[in-house]
Amino acid sequence: MLHAKARQLGALYLTGYVVEAYAKALGAALNGGSVKKIHDLDVLLADCGFRRADLPHDVREYADRRTVEMRYDPVLSPEADYERELASARQLAKLLAHRLRRLR
């Protein structure tokens, strides 16, 4: 809905929130139920067993750039490539969700 209403910053933030939630859920499932209380996506992905080299280039870059501090930004940075960021976040969310479903 946010995407359709051209609320790019909100759409990116919430999509990143979903990615982080999937990463924490997968990490907890793989590591005895312990959930890390951090927002560093690179650390969370490593906790899920992902090696950076195995991730697609766009997803690696997204993980490096993603920050929860964007929730305080009044508008999306003009340097941000909204479509690419959103596509990378969606790709990563699907990858995490797929791995999480395979554990069941």
Per-residue pLDDT tens over the stretch 5-50: 568 888 899 999 999 999 999 999 999 988 989 999 999 999 999 9
- Biggest alpha carbon distance in the chain? 42
* The model scores a pTM over 0.85: yes
Number of domains the chain is built from: 1
In a domain, 73, yes or no: yes
* Alpha-carbon gap, residue 36 to 81, rounded angstroms: 29
End-to-end CA distance of the chain: give it in Å, rounded: 30
In a domain, 36, yes or no: yes
Q: What is the pLDDT of residues 43-93, one digit of tens each?
A: 999 999 999 888 999 999 999 989 888 888 888 888 889 999 999 999 999
3-state secondary structure of 35: coil
- pLDDT at residue number 2: 55
- pLDDT at residue number 43: 94
Residue 38 makes CB contacts below 8 A (sequence gap 6+) with 44
In a domain, 2, yes or no: no
Q: What are the C-alpha distances in Å from 8 to residues 31, 67, 102?
A: 34, 15, 31
* Alpha-carbon gap, residue 59 to 82, rounded angstroms: 14
Of residues 66 and 3, more confidence is placed in 66
- pLDDT at residue number 97: 97
Taking a C-beta distance cutoff of 8 angstroms, is the pair 96, 26 a contact? yes
In a domain, 3, yes or no: no
In a domain, 1, yes or no: no
In a domain, 37, yes or no: yes
Determine the number of helices (DSSP H) and then strands (DSSP E) in the chain.
Answer: 4, 0
